[in-house]
Structure 1
Amino acid sequence: MLAGDRLHWSVTVAGSRSILKFDLDTQSLDLSLLPGDYYTPLSPVAFTIVRAEGGRMGFLFLYRFTAELWSTKRNRNGVVLWVRGRSIELDRLLGLNSEKEPPQMIGYAEENNAVFFRTADADYMVHLESLQFNKLPKTAVGSYYHPFETVHTRGQRHEAWSVLL
């Protein structure tokens, strides 16, 4: 994901979930650990880099039916800290039965700031800013998805579409 002048990737290094950043100006790499240790490497969580408010880099943790949005903030001493933002109860938002298996995160579309989730019954695209969602047609088991976005300008209007391939 591109935020400012940096490219960001979610990676796991020696069992720790981290964010790899490449600064386009200085041509340098930086590795940042994710906050807290209550999401231990053994926890069944998924995470992905997402766009936070103001176009900054953030990430989304998914644990069972709860998705948490995190971003960074500078304190008054200039130190960058991780702060938890909104929590999304996917079972409530999508009308899922919490007795069933929780959803899996299967992709992220950067231009539209939308996360794709797979459940036993359907796939969903959830827009992180508005929390509006689309139920997508179910595909065959074992399918792999890759978000594909295309952007074009029609007159003065900029439009972007996200689909799963």
Structure 2
Amino acid sequence: MGIIEWLVLISTISTLSFSWAVYLINLHNSKNLPEKIKEDEERLIQLMGRVRIFVDSKIEILEVKMKELNDLISQVNDLYSKLVLEVSEYQKNIKTNSKISYEEKKEVEANSENFEKTLEETIEKRETKKTEMTREEQIIELYNQGIEEAEIAKKFGMGIGEVRLIIDLFHRTKSK
């Protein structure tokens, strides 16, 4: 045999040895792969469960806070109505009693200014609340029309998570 034949024989044996080694390594790795995938899937499922529990607890807290806020708003409305009645009665008394001292007039003017400021602030708060409710209603309406959450979020300049939260809260309150 010549040198070329020996080189061909040695290169063939080397190639077969290398191929066999690669095959054995891949065979060993493929046996461990399904177990690792199952472990990763179990960890992922556990994490998803924890996240779901966390999100549900936060949503419950948010619902409680929203109920408290609605209660406070109704209390403020009641107080506002009482205040308006008292101010109107007070103004009637002022008109009937034309002989009011200078100090009492100053006090009435100061109270009127405070009342006007309070009234303006209350009106602004109501308008802000109405705007927010309108936006939530618009989000629900668009969602019911079949528009995707991402498009709704872009339209209102909000995050997708915020849109999902509003939709989820709407469905929860609707189902109760």
TM-score, length-scaled by structure 1: 0.18
Larger radius of gyration: 2
Kindly indicate which of the two structures has a greater share of residues assigned to strand: 1
TM-score, length-scaled by structure 2: 0.17
Kindly indicate which of the two structures has a greater share of residues assigned to helix: 2
